[in-house]
Structure 1
Amino acid sequence: MRWLFQKPSNCRDWSPDQVVLPEARFDGDLVEITGIRDCRYRSTTDFTVTHRDQAFDLGQLERLDFFVEPFAEWRGPAHTFLSFGFEDGEQLAISVEVRRENGEEFSVLGGLTRQFELMYVVATERDLVGLRSVHRGNRVYRYPIRADVERIRKMMVAMLRRANGLRDRPEFYNTLSNTCTTNIVRHLNEVSDRRVPWWNPRVLFPGYSDRLAQALGLIDSPFSVETDRESFEVGEVVREAIDDPGFSRRIREGDEPQQSVG
């Protein structure tokens, strides 16, 4: 039971792609973010790590997408993350992940026994989506979200502030209560009138989180997640567009304007 007394730390021999913690500085509607990851992958183990700094105008936010990456034929295990879109076509993706040490691999048991720290990866879409779809070979589904622009803004600010907080107050990842999807749900609850408990089965098994999002009226599409899930899969276009400077635009070709709700 020694693990019960372990404390989280930001001072470890981290995997090269997770060494840099992002930081956001706010000035009115402007947010300047340092440490935006933009890796160039040749495979899952061969990649060039790059980061950039960029300023965003929160007044130009106009859309939000929810991504789901199932891990297995059984639909339950999955990774989820968000991407925030701006009027000029820029996208900023935020993914809540295990912060791995060099050579470390994730395990469910390790996630229950304080073996991994938590990290908010702030990155380009090409990094996060390309890694999963092209190099891991996993299916990735993109769901446009129906939401009030002000709530999208609050969601992004909340996630960036939490990323800032982890710089000074590291936390352990927990397989049940402190995951990619439970954190998205917590941020959703901060900006929504409708509460979603983190212990909802479709949160604990995030491969079903898209069904939950549709049940809550959040997915901006006439298609059913239940019967038409493949219409949201982006693998083919991601593979075609991975080297295109207009990557984010390409994977959205044919989208209808997103609807807002109050």
Structure 2
Amino acid sequence: MRWPHGAATAARGAIKAVATLAAVLATAWGALALWYQLPRWPAAAAAGAWCVIGIAAAVAPWRKAGTAHGKGVALACAVAAMLMFAWWRSIVPSHERAWADDVARLLASEVDGDRVTLHNVRNFDWQSETRYTPRWETRQYDLGQLESADLILSYWMGPHIAHTLVSFGFADGRKLVFSLEIRKERHEAFSALGGFFRKFEEVLIAADEHDIVRTRSNARGEQVYLYRLRATHAQLRAVFLAYLRQAAQLHDEPTFYNTLTSNCTTVIFDLARQIAPGLPLDWRLLASGHFAEYAHDQGALTAGYTYAVLRQRGYINPRALKTDAGDAAGFSRAIRVGIPGVPAGETQPLGAGRASTSAGESRAPVTR
């Protein structure tokens, strides 16, 4: 069967357009990959050369086929593509880098029934975004005393992007926060775009609220919201242990952070799906600033309140800013005053132990 001349011409044109679009996208992707992976001047030179080849590849489908020039362009593009692919495959994650102080250590755990020992729990004392007293602790927790979990969103780049954390509460008043973060090197600055191009490894941080929440609300001035999660004790225990398994996996096998597919929000969703496999995919998993609304729609937040009310009452900054810089337990109590679903007892003074460590003041760039 022969196509009509007009239809055949249109089909060839569509194929050429698709080939051109593929060349343009590959050119943009390769240029950005080179830019984020190489030092500045080599990156500029390599990205420029790649763009020249990419432009030639984009134009090639519209040139007359079969000429010596066309064959040369095709060969050059094929060789460049193979070299790019081989180079990209050679970029592998590592634990052996000069890490920033706040992501320098990996969480390790030992589980014996309900008794959990955690090594390298972060409990820094932040005086500002870049001034802090480092402190890494070994802590023990009784999973039989695990009684609550809170979803925390910290907005640092407009209303649609937030860092998501989960804080677990124990009967003795202690709180422990898990946060998947980029593992930034000392000389690096965070880049959401760089997160698409294997710029950063990822690390799972376990930290005291006075460290990981207070630095966002008080030191950085981010807008922080806290929501009580609805969960049974069995669900809380399962998610807590799932975080430890995730940390152990990262400890054994370094992994690249990915802004889209492996970030602070997707890890919470993946862990939640281990308990509720039917959780649906949703655009709010990508726009992390709306993740709490997604959780509300799935019935995961305190019942009986609209999302607007939960958000309004969950804004912790005014209360956080009034707390004493040295009162870790008081900080956790203060930020929960008025939060729907939080029993009054959680906002009352309770004894809380703190491990002792040696510390010295340091400076480093901020990790999101």
Normalising to structure 2: TM-score of the pair?
0.67
Q: Counterparts of 1:25 and 1:60 in 2: how far apart (Å)?
A: 17
1:146 to 227, 230, 236: 230
Gaps of 5+ in 2: 1-83, 344-368
Q: Counterparts of 1:45 and 1:209 in 2: how far apart (Å)?
A: 28
* Change over 3 Å in CA distance of 1:195–1:221 after alignment to 2: closer
Q: Name the residue aligned to 2:66.
A: none
Q: Counterparts of 1:64 and 1:194 in 2: how far apart (Å)?
A: 21
* Structure 2 counterpart of 1:13, one-letter code: A
* Change over 3 Å in CA distance of 1:236–1:221 after alignment to 2: farther
Cα distance per residue 1:29-49 (max 9 Å; x no partner): 111001000011111111111
Q: Name the residue aligned to 1:237.
A: 319
Asked if residue 6 in structure 1 is aligned to residue 95 in structure 2, the reply is no
Asked if residue 48 in structure 1 is aligned to residue 133 in structure 2, the reply is yes
Q: Name the residue aligned to 1:119.
A: 203
Is the contact made by 1:96 and 1:118 (CA closer than 8 Å) also made in structure 2? yes
Asked if residue 129 in structure 1 is aligned to residue 219 in structure 2, the reply is no
Q: Name the residue aligned to 1:208.
A: 290
> Which structure has greater helix proportion?
2
2:194 to 106, 110, 113: 110
Q: Name the residue aligned to 1:191.
A: 275
* Structure 2 counterpart of 1:239, one-letter code: L
RCO (CA 8 Å, sep 6+): is it higher in 1 or 2? Answer: 1
Q: Name the residue aligned to 1:161.
A: 245
Larger Rg: 2
Cα distance per residue 1:34-87 (max 9 Å; x no partner): 1000011111111111011111000111100000011233x2111100000011
* Structure 1 counterpart of 2:296, one-letter code: Q
Is the contact made by 1:130 and 1:238 (CA closer than 8 Å) also made in structure 2? yes
Give 1:226 deviation, angstroms. 3.5
* Structure 2 counterpart of 1:151, one-letter code: Q
Identity of aligned residues (%): 35
Q: Name the residue aligned to 2:78.
A: none
* Structure 1 counterpart of 2:95, one-letter code: N
Q: How many residues align?
A: 256
* Change over 3 Å in CA distance of 1:23–1:147 after alignment to 2: same
* Change over 3 Å in CA distance of 1:13–1:232 after alignment to 2: same
Q: Counterparts of 1:127 and 1:169 in 2: how far apart (Å)?
A: 26
Q: Name the residue aligned to 2:56.
A: none
Gaps of 5+ in 1: none
2:256 to 149, 166, 172: 172
* Change over 3 Å in CA distance of 1:196–1:240 after alignment to 2: same
* Structure 2 counterpart of 1:219, one-letter code: L
Give 1:211 deviation, angstroms. 0.6
Q: Counterparts of 2:135 and 2:226 in 1: how far apart (Å)?
A: 25
Q: Name the residue aligned to 1:95.
A: 179
* Structure 2 counterpart of 1:55, one-letter code: Q
Is the contact made by 1:4 and 1:113 (CA closer than 8 Å) also made in structure 2? no
Structure 2 SS opposite 1:108: coil
Normalising to structure 1: TM-score of the pair?
0.93
Is the contact made by 1:119 and 1:166 (CA closer than 8 Å) also made in structure 2? yes
Structure 2 SS opposite 1:243: coil
Give 1:221 deviation, angstroms. 5.0
Larger CA deviation: 225-234 vs 61-70: 225-234
Give 1:229 deviation, angstroms. 2.1
Q: Name the residue aligned to 2:361.
A: none
Matches within 5 A, 1:63-78: 63-73=148-158, 75-78=159-162
Is the contact made by 2:336 and 2:342 (CA closer than 8 Å) also made in structure 1? no
> Which structure has greater strand proportion?
1
Cα distance per residue 1:146-166 (max 9 Å; x no partner): 111110110010001111111
Structure 1 SS opposite 2:239: helix
Q: What do you get for the CA RMSD once the two structures are aligned?
A: 1.7
Q: Counterparts of 1:195 and 1:217 in 2: how far apart (Å)?
A: 11
Q: Counterparts of 2:264 and 2:122 in 1: how far apart (Å)?
A: 18
Is the contact made by 1:3 and 1:113 (CA closer than 8 Å) also made in structure 2? no
Larger CA deviation: 54-63 vs 64-73: 64-73
Q: Counterparts of 1:103 and 1:118 in 2: how far apart (Å)?
A: 16
